[in-house]
A and B are shown apart, each in its own frame.
Chain A
């Protein structure tokens, strides 16, 4: 029976630190892109645009209804095949870009729903009052709807970001050396797999905890200063 080597856990923790950079790059890029994608997808639903609304629903269905691992493989191997049809050779594009794209589209789907729910949660009476006071459509959006929507959306956004952080652990299947990928290579020679997983768990926990605290801080500042707090 193999005994648990605590010193090895510490050793692996230190060896895994450089890989945090790639994990955070994936999280930051995909959340940012996902926010943009999510907003674009939510708009047809909010404004009831006929054809685009249908497309949005299809998009949401697919990205929320299939496992991320399948999405990663579909995009990494399938997208270049599709691009071949329009004479674009994507065979040599590094896996990292495909990974960020897939996570962005995946998070985007959840963000679209978050945006839709947050905007719908703003009391209709507020909007009507704003119009009554004489604000233009844009002013109503920026000064009345958006601050309240963000306040509702922020906890959900924090959730999605932290979930995204943990989902990045699947990127190693495409050869990206983020935290989980790096950990797989560490245990090969020493066969201390339990210790590498323990180190991984500790690192992911620390990262999630830091993110959680940061978002908590942001929420507090928003509740006091509104949009100026961002």
Chain B
């Protein structure tokens, strides 16, 4: 009987103690901010990002969170003394909900600016990349030349993404012609499904395709379906968030002006996608 009691107490303690320390791997602290000239402690900002986007936000072989968006936020953190940025990794589809419920203060995941998102959220003003969405099909596919050829076919997309909104708008105007299949996370290996014929296509930005399609099994067809800037996202109607967005804009201007943004883009995305000259 005594052994049972001690065992229970030990196990419970171990569980609680281990649980306290266990959440460390999930959030990587940003560079520690020192108190600014006024002597105030820096405001902590939790940045929500994903782990499934190669070269944009992912874990490298050592398990360290890195990528274009992540390194850009770290660079911004270096330049802003009054804020301290800490990352929290989430599923992409939970990012916007977590932003609304204040679990995170900012979203950094190559978020495109579009009308639907602008209604509910706040974007900063200085973009850090430009997207052109096109239809991506298997390299051997010659029947699909544009989004109109996708009528009656299966198209993969991730819920809550800008590409999903493009497809949904198309379906609203064309009597639900496209069979949209919602997926979650790269684990479903979108590329494999398109190549093997399980799905016909998905929508991709021009520069992200080479990042995920390393074996060149896909190609982009048709005209650009949308062109937009990628920005960070914040909550609307919140003066603190507006102040944060403005400060981030200041830092981004600096980063653009001294060439660091171009350097980051070339390092992670393969070329400079940060100027308004869009790659065709």
Interface pairs (14), CB distance under 8 Å: A18-B25, A21-B18, A22-B25, A25-B19, A32-B8, A32-B11, A91-B102, A92-B103, A175-B91, A177-B89, A188-B54, A189-B54, A191-B189, A193-B189
Chain B residues packing against A (C-beta within 8 Å): 1, 3-4, 7-8, 11-12, 14-16, 18-19, 22-23, 25-26, 46, 51-54, 58-60, 63, 88-91, 94, 97, 101-103, 185-187, 189, 191-192, 214
**A32 surroundings in chain B (CB, below 8 A):** 8, 11-12, 15
**B26 surroundings in chain A (CB, below 8 A):** 94-96, 175-177
**A91 surroundings in chain B (CB, below 8 A):** 101-103
**Among A77, A185, A228, contact of B101 (Cβ-Cβ < 8 Å):** A77
Complex alpha-carbon distance, A1 and B89, angstroms: 32
Nearest-neighbour CB distance to chain B for A177, whole angstroms, equals 5
| Contact yes or no, B23 A96, CB < 8 A | yes
Name, among B15, B97, B101, the residue most crowded by chain A CB atoms within 10 Å (CB to CB): B15
| Contact yes or no, A184 B185, CB < 8 A | yes
Q: Give the residues from 1 to 50 in chain A that come closer than 8 angstroms, CB to CB, to chain B.
A: 2, 15, 18, 21-22, 25, 28-29, 32
Nearest-neighbour CB distance to chain A for B279, whole angstroms, equals 23
**B101 surroundings in chain A (CB, below 8 A):** 77, 80-81, 91
A187 within 8 A of B: yes
| Contact yes or no, A174 B11, CB < 8 A | no
**Among B15, B94, B186, contact of A25 (Cβ-Cβ < 8 Å):** B15
Complex alpha-carbon distance, A230 and B6, angstroms: 11
| Contact yes or no, B103 A25, CB < 8 A | no
Complex alpha-carbon distance, A55 and B191, angstroms: 50
Complex alpha-carbon distance, A228 and B5, angstroms: 11
Q: Contacts A77-B97, A185-B58, A187-B187 hold; do A25 and B18 have CB atoms under 8 A apart?
A: yes
Interface size on A, residues (CB 8 A): 37
**A25 surroundings in chain B (CB, below 8 A):** 15, 18-19, 22
Complex alpha-carbon distance, A5 and B19, angstroms: 35
**A59 surroundings in chain B (CB, below 8 A):** none
A205 within 8 A of B: no
A135 within 8 A of B: no
**B189 surroundings in chain A (CB, below 8 A):** 191, 193
Name, among B1, B90, B101, the residue most crowded by chain A CB atoms within 10 Å (CB to CB): B101
B interface footprint on A143-182 (CB within 8 Å = 1, 0 otherwise): 0000000000000000000000000000011111100000
Nearest-neighbour CB distance to chain B for A62, whole angstroms, equals 22
**B90 surroundings in chain A (CB, below 8 A):** 174-175
**B12 surroundings in chain A (CB, below 8 A):** 32
Complex alpha-carbon distance, A174 and B186, angstroms: 16
A100 within 8 A of B: yes
